[in-house]
Structure 1
Amino acid sequence: MTGKVLVAYGTTNGSTARIAEAIADVLRKDGLTADALPARTVTGVSSYDAVVVGGGLYAGRWHKDARRFVRQHGRALAERPLWLFSSGPLDPSASERDIPPVPGVKKVMARLDAREHVTFGGCLEEGAKGWVAGMILRSKKGGDFRDFTAIEMWAGRVATDVRGGE
């Protein structure tokens, strides 16, 4: 094992991308090689020893790029260590308790034997794309609820697992 990890993500407004980049940064600091890439741009996972896939949550569903990615690369993902994350709650709930995966992600976990899933808080700020995003912002329900300390701690556990539990 070379310690090469892919962090693939589906995002609309960049919040999930920033989480993926933070995860990749921690993996690199722990001595691994990590690429954080938009899921829609990844053509294969064979050069990676392990994969982390994340998606923003929209109306109780994982981002379409994350869903498409796990569908297209399912066979290869099932052959290597896999972790999943979601981002989405626009409130502090993700920092206060474990939020289980939405049903579609739960099915992916079972089908691909993912090691773990975690839900992180989301971020929706002025300038976000989409009609629903605009509605949420107009109702003053947006904000940044990402907890980068929790994200980095989780990424550290992933790094330890990739290295074989050292």
Structure 2
Amino acid sequence: MRVLVTYGSKRGGTEGIARWLAQALRDEGLDAEVAAPQDVGDVSGYGAVIVGGSLYANRWHRDARRFVHRHARRLRERPTWFFSSGPLDASASDGDLPPTPQVRALMEQVHASGHMTFGGRLEADARGFLARSMAREHAGDWRDLEQLRRWAASLAEALALVGDLGPAPRGSESHVPF
């Protein structure tokens, strides 16, 4: 199955997660591609879509939000998952963190099958007033590759079930929880 992994990333950490996720999905036998949201003209050629966004002050990256709005109709027609990155601590690895209200609303708009939050990354030499201020106390990388691999395996399993059952009927409320 052909899977699109797209992302909104300000400082490259979320893009890195998207690239790792696509590789993990390929390792699971899926045909996964990574593309920046602005480079995706149409999602109809993909059997599933994964949209990721970095979180800043509980807001998902603008490019990820715009992608979801632009492709909402087509996303409702195929399995779609979301991921967020942002906590600058180990909380995302310690347990499931729910999506922010903004991300939850986007998920409902497209009937997303699930969501995962991954730890974020902030470099010590981050540019910008706010990032530089945060980096003084919170610089580091909390992205958990093992958590990402486990999620990729669960997505591959869910997509295998979808493939065995055939496509879900339009407007179906049946979702695989993650």
Q: TM-score range by the shorter chain?
A: over 0.9
1:56-135 correspondence to structure 2 within 5 Å? 56-135=54-133
Ranges in structure 1 where 5+ consecutive residues have no aligned partner: none
Q: Percent of pairs identical after alignment? A: 48
| Aligned match of 2:34 | 36
State how far apart, in whole Å, the 1-side matches of 2:143 and 2:156 are: 20
| Aligned match of 1:53 | 51
State how far apart, in whole Å, the 2-side matches of 1:26 and 1:97 are: 20
Measured after TM superposition, the shift of residue 42 of structure 1 is 1.3
State how far apart, in whole Å, the 1-side matches of 2:100 and 2:125 are: 27
Contact 2:49 2:78 (8 Å CA) reproduced: yes
Q: How many residues align?
A: 163
Contact 2:93 2:144 (8 Å CA) reproduced: yes
Distance verdict in 2 for CA 1:129–1:48, change over 3 Å:
farther
Ranges in structure 2 where 5+ consecutive residues have no aligned partner: 165-178
| Aligned match of 2:175 | none
Normalising by structure 2, we get a TM-score of 0.87
Partner SS, residue 99 of structure 2: coil
| Aligned match of 1:147 | 144
Measured after TM superposition, the shift of residue 13 of structure 1 is 0.8
* Paired amino acid for 1:156: A
* Paired amino acid for 1:151: L
Normalising by structure 1, we get a TM-score of 0.93
What RMSD in Å do the two structures reach over aligned CA positions?
1.3
